[in-house]
Amino acid sequence: DVKVTQSSRYLVKRTGEKVFLECVQDMDHENMFWYRQDPGLGLRLIYFSYDVKMKEKGDIPEGYSVSREKKERFSLILESASTNQTSMYLCASRTLGTGGGEQYFGPGTRLTVT
């Protein structure tokens, strides 16, 4: 079974803090993704990585950065947390198999910024 884990299920941070969200997958997947999910807005892609040290911006990268130093680990960084970054953050990974490959999600981190 594919397993994607995230460092925290719930996190409460103060405005202006630097926040690190970690994601680890154990299936040697090439692609990893960070999304945020808000009611009424669906899943929105923040950043993705298609290889170690490679990253590409998604639809809403402002206020975020990412790091992928090892294939199995993809980190999302909120440089200076703001209240509008309160959300559910979902990490996913995907292999580039025949037909495009399936994407699997971690359990999510519900971040509250106060």
Partner 1 sequence: QKEVEQNSGPLSVPEGAIASLNCTYSDRGSQSFFWYRQYSGKSPELIMSIYSNGDKEDGRFTAQLNKASQYVSLLIRDSQPSDSATYLCAVSQNTGNQFYFGTGTSLTVIP
Does 43 help bind partner 1 (rule: CB under 8 A)?
yes
Q: What is the x/- site pattern for partner 1, positions 47-86, by CB under 8 A?
A: -x-x-----x-x----------------------------
CA 49 to chain centre: 10
* DSSP code, position 92: E
* Least distance from partner 1 to the Cβ atom of residue 82, Å: 23
* Nearest alpha-carbon partner for 26 in 106, 110, 89, 109: 106
Q: Which is nearer to partner 1, 55 or 81 (CB)?
A: 55
Does 26 help bind partner 1 (rule: CB under 8 A)?
no
Q: How many CB atoms lie within 10 A of CB 25?
A: 23
CB-based contact 25:4 (threshold 8 Å): yes
Residue of the chain from 26, 107, 112, 114 that contacts partner 1 (CB under 8 A): 107
